[in-house]
Structure 1
Amino acid sequence: MLVIGLMSGTSADGVDAALVEWPDDAATRPFRLLAFRGEPFPRELQERIHALAAGRLAAGAVLRELAALDVLLAERFADAAAALAREAGVALGAIDAIASHGQTVAHHPELRATLQIGDPSVIAERTGVTTVADFRPRDLAAGGEGAPLAPFFHWAALADAAESRVVLNLGGIANVTALPKGGDPDAVVAFDVGPANALVDAVVRAVSNGAERMDRDGARARRGRADAALLARLLDDEFLRRAPPKSTGRERYGWAEGEALLAEWSAAGRAPDDLVATLVAFTAEAVARACRDFCGGAPQRLLACGGGARNPAVMDALRAALGAATRVEPTDAAGVPGDAVEAMAFSLMGRNALLGVPNHLPRCTGAGRAAVLGEIAPGRGARRWR
């Protein structure tokens, strides 16, 4: 079965698209990544998404902007899927489904509420391909946190019979999936750790007046020096101490928090690069503590993916925090390209939704039962899979 997975994460810097060939039944192996591409968003679109998610709009403009972005992002997602199919040399008519995570603009598990935009009906209409979307709400409805969902794919693709592994996704938010040796899905533990790139991106954007959107290649973090006092304060965080299942987002670690830290730091006459270095150390130490406290100790191997895995300062900080007993490397070393992991995850979840097969790990999200996540917008000439 050929399924395109689409993912736009908390950084809102673009959409990743992965075309994966899966077995036609419920098996997850073997699978084959046929094509992958990332489509960056224009800066103006990224700014609009962040402004909406941060509540920085006049009250009368919020619903109009929400509706406008719901359609605009769907058009972008449809274009990304079509471009990927062209690149792979596969006709859209041969694609069985598109599975779109959408763009999260609000996630409040304490309210059993989440909102991802990018209307799947628009995607299905533009491409003619059956589109599966809105995965998180069903998990919340079943009593879960609505996150993390990618661990289902991590287990399917990266669990190993002979090695304990942790998969670490370093997007806007850091989340871990602990895969004990042996590959038992009922033993998998996964949860959001805290911030990965979100706070650093907010600080870099503010200090550069928007000229920089990230700490490219970790240059600022490497020039800076972590501040022990601020690091200790950041680590004294109720969310970090809370036992899983748990999830978080920009509502806790976003623009406002990053800008507030920068304002405090600047008022004290401190160098911005030292703040960036401290935030990188915060992420690494939070991950190390999460492994120790909730994942049964440091794993034999930590496999990193997401934008942060391309930041050498972050990877070096992780190695220092976890120690020599853990080999830290990108998921590419295990055969899954790091940039494609999350898009591939939703490709698998979409395949399972079409088959009517559960596509999450309830133990990881806290859901009361295994459910089939996702709502389906049929394409033209859609076939019946169940």
Structure 2
Amino acid sequence: MNRNWQRCFELVRKKERIIIGLMSGTSLDGLDIALCSIGGSGMKTKVKLLKFCTVPYDSALREEMRAVIFRRDTDLQLLTLLNAKIGSLHARLVLQTLQKWEVAPEGIDVIASHGQTVFHAPASFHGLDGYPNATLQIGDGDHIAVGTGILTISDFRQKHIAAGGEGAPLAVYGDYFLFSDEREDRVMLNVGGIANFTFLPRDGNTERIFSTDVGPGNTLMDQYVQRHFEGLSYDRDSVLAGKGNYHEVLLDALLEAPFFRLGFPKTTGPELFSMDYLQKAQERSGTGGLAKEDVLATLNRFTAEVVAEAIGRCFEGGGMPVIYLSGGGMHNPLLRKNLEALLPGVLFRTTAELGINPDAKEAVLFALLANEMLAGDAANFGRQGIPMVAMGKVSFPL
């Protein structure tokens, strides 16, 4: 038998697998690396986060990636080159991190790599007859597998689309397996570049469980800071937005996108919520002369408004869940303040209280999806509409 398939069969039979989850988000700040021990599968999944870190990208790589991501006029040669370059870089960063942690690569069973999203195009966004939902991530899995000598599972979103989904958000699988609880209704709110949440009813009814994007998380705020505040990549601790005041007229213009009238579940990305989107909203509202701090404060409020409206829509009949935060937005004090004002009486916590570092949650999710690919079985998520979790493509080392 081919030794690589023999290795796969051995991994399937293991009671516990050591899996590294890799996540690189739309903020382009760096590579999240989560070292996990995962036992079982499905509702019997048990995850221990052993180590976690974020390795920052250098400024030159960020600029290269900004030249190709979320753009319709991408340089195809640069895109092709970056697919290989980022895969090889991620392999090196994994090996360097394992050395720092004093963990031997031979002790790692699998690497689960999300890759770097360069364009996300659900049909609701592109609107082109005859074309399906689509998404594209780069950072080739074969380069990671060969570079590390570790079996790698990557490109998770394509199976979701092939089976009828939009390729995102995929958090429903990990959220359902790890965080469902009969004692309380839960909303697992992740505020990354895009804000999304999973609703977990206490009754565990999969017909009521769903995961959805709701609109911009940090992406518009980050893009605005990068364009208008030299040397800064984001508004640390809301220092800039805290000096301004949100503007109702601009806020109303920002809320006009047809995306907000779509039902759940739905997906979106920085392809829609871009600086062009902001510019057009300012033109319509006659707010082009606003102070930069006021614009940033308005973008902050905008994120809070779309999150609060979406969560409130799920609970129009009364009652509110406990909201568990993860993602970079949970570190934004003004955003937290806005959310608390718009959702009075709601209890906000973080996934740290559930045993998972909230900064590591997305990387852990892809480790879990790799585990399901190896050891899981079909699972029906009702409204989510995708009766499978075996996502990802396998790349063997040499």
Same fold per superposition (TM over 0.5): yes
With over 3 angstroms needed to count, the CA separation of the structure-2 counterparts of 1:298 and 1:18, relative to structure 1, is farther
Are 1:330 and 2:350 matched, yes or no? Answer: yes
Are 1:105 and 2:125 matched, yes or no? Answer: no
CA distance in 1, matches of 2:158, 2:277: 26
* Residue in structure 1 matched with residue 13 of structure 2 by the alignment: none
Given that 1:304 and 1:330 are in contact with CA atoms closer than 8 Å, whether structure 2 keeps it comes out as yes
Residue 333 of structure 1: CA displacement?
Answer: 2.7
SS in 1 for 2:114: strand
**AA in 1 matched with 2:175:** H
CA distance in 1, matches of 2:44, 2:103: 22
Unaligned runs of at least 5 residues, structure 1: 381-386
With over 3 angstroms needed to count, the CA separation of the structure-2 counterparts of 1:262 and 1:128, relative to structure 1, is farther
Deviates more, 1:25-34 or 1:171-180: 25-34
* Residue in structure 2 matched with residue 256 of structure 1 by the alignment: 276
Give a deviation string over 1:334-366, Cα, whole Å, max 9, x none.
3211110000000000111122534895733x4
With over 3 angstroms needed to count, the CA separation of the structure-2 counterparts of 1:256 and 1:79, relative to structure 1, is farther
CA distance in 1, matches of 2:62, 2:166: 26
Alignment of 1:197-208 (within 5 A): 197-208=218-229
Deviates more, 1:73-82 or 1:21-30: 21-30
Residue among 350, 370, 378 paired with 2:396: 378
**AA in 2 matched with 1:376:** V
Given that 1:54 and 1:255 are in contact with CA atoms closer than 8 Å, whether structure 2 keeps it comes out as no
* Residue in structure 1 matched with residue 90 of structure 2 by the alignment: 77
CA distance in 2, matches of 1:379, 1:363: 38
Please give the TM-score of this superposition, normalised by the length of structure 1.
Answer: 0.90
SS in 2 for 1:22: strand
* Residue in structure 2 matched with residue 46 of structure 1 by the alignment: 62
* Residue in structure 2 matched with residue 383 of structure 1 by the alignment: none
* Residue in structure 1 matched with residue 365 of structure 2 by the alignment: 345
Moved over 4 A (4+): 24-28, 258-267, 295-298, 358-362
With over 3 angstroms needed to count, the CA separation of the structure-2 counterparts of 1:113 and 1:198, relative to structure 1, is same
CA distance in 1, matches of 2:42, 2:70: 39
CA distance in 2, matches of 1:292, 1:25: 32
Alignment of 1:187-336 (within 5 A): 187-209=208-230, 211-258=231-278, 268-294=288-314, 299-324=320-345, 326-336=346-356
Unaligned runs of at least 5 residues, structure 2: 1-16, 124-131
CA distance in 1, matches of 2:256, 2:71: 27
With over 3 angstroms needed to count, the CA separation of the structure-2 counterparts of 1:224 and 1:18, relative to structure 1, is same
* Residue in structure 2 matched with residue 384 of structure 1 by the alignment: none
CA distance in 1, matches of 2:103, 2:171: 26
Q: State, as a whole percentage, how many aligned pairs show the same letter.
A: 37
Given that 2:43 and 2:178 are in contact with CA atoms closer than 8 Å, whether structure 1 keeps it comes out as no
CA distance in 2, matches of 1:117, 1:298: 42
Residue 155 of structure 1: CA displacement?
Answer: 1.7
SS in 2 for 1:167: strand
Given that 2:253 and 2:284 are in contact with CA atoms closer than 8 Å, whether structure 1 keeps it comes out as no
**AA in 1 matched with 2:266:** K
CA distance in 2, matches of 1:114, 1:278: 29
Given that 1:305 and 1:339 are in contact with CA atoms closer than 8 Å, whether structure 2 keeps it comes out as yes
**AA in 2 matched with 1:195:** P
Are 1:132 and 2:153 matched, yes or no? Answer: yes
Given that 2:24 and 2:30 are in contact with CA atoms closer than 8 Å, whether structure 1 keeps it comes out as yes
**AA in 1 matched with 2:102:** G
* Residue in structure 1 matched with residue 107 of structure 2 by the alignment: 94
Residue 23 of structure 1: CA displacement?
Answer: 0.8
CA distance in 2, matches of 1:136, 1:298: 33
Residue 55 of structure 1: CA displacement?
Answer: 2.7
Residue 184 of structure 1: CA displacement?
Answer: 3.9
CA distance in 1, matches of 2:116, 2:97: 19
Residue 236 of structure 1: CA displacement?
Answer: 2.6
* Residue in structure 1 matched with residue 180 of structure 2 by the alignment: 159
Are 1:143 and 2:161 matched, yes or no? Answer: no
Given that 1:262 and 1:272 are in contact with CA atoms closer than 8 Å, whether structure 2 keeps it comes out as no
* Residue in structure 1 matched with residue 11 of structure 2 by the alignment: none
Given that 1:145 and 1:247 are in contact with CA atoms closer than 8 Å, whether structure 2 keeps it comes out as yes
**Equivalenced residues, count:** 373
Given that 1:362 and 1:370 are in contact with CA atoms closer than 8 Å, whether structure 2 keeps it comes out as no
Are 1:14 and 2:37 matched, yes or no? Answer: no
SS in 2 for 1:37: strand
**AA in 2 matched with 1:42:** D
**AA in 1 matched with 2:313:** D
With over 3 angstroms needed to count, the CA separation of the structure-2 counterparts of 1:187 and 1:129, relative to structure 1, is same
With over 3 angstroms needed to count, the CA separation of the structure-2 counterparts of 1:299 and 1:96, relative to structure 1, is farther
* Residue in structure 1 matched with residue 144 of structure 2 by the alignment: 123
Residue 34 of structure 1: CA displacement?
Answer: 0.5
Given that 2:250 and 2:285 are in contact with CA atoms closer than 8 Å, whether structure 1 keeps it comes out as no
Aligned-pair Cα RMSD in Å = 2.3
CA distance in 2, matches of 1:262, 1:44: 31
Given that 1:262 and 1:275 are in contact with CA atoms closer than 8 Å, whether structure 2 keeps it comes out as no
With over 3 angstroms needed to count, the CA separation of the structure-2 counterparts of 1:207 and 1:265, relative to structure 1, is farther
Please give the TM-score of this superposition, normalised by the length of structure 2.
Answer: 0.87
CA distance in 1, matches of 2:202, 2:364: 23
CA distance in 2, matches of 1:298, 1:285: 19
CA distance in 1, matches of 2:288, 2:38: 55
SS in 2 for 1:31: strand
With over 3 angstroms needed to count, the CA separation of the structure-2 counterparts of 1:181 and 1:222, relative to structure 1, is same
CA distance in 2, matches of 1:192, 1:218: 23
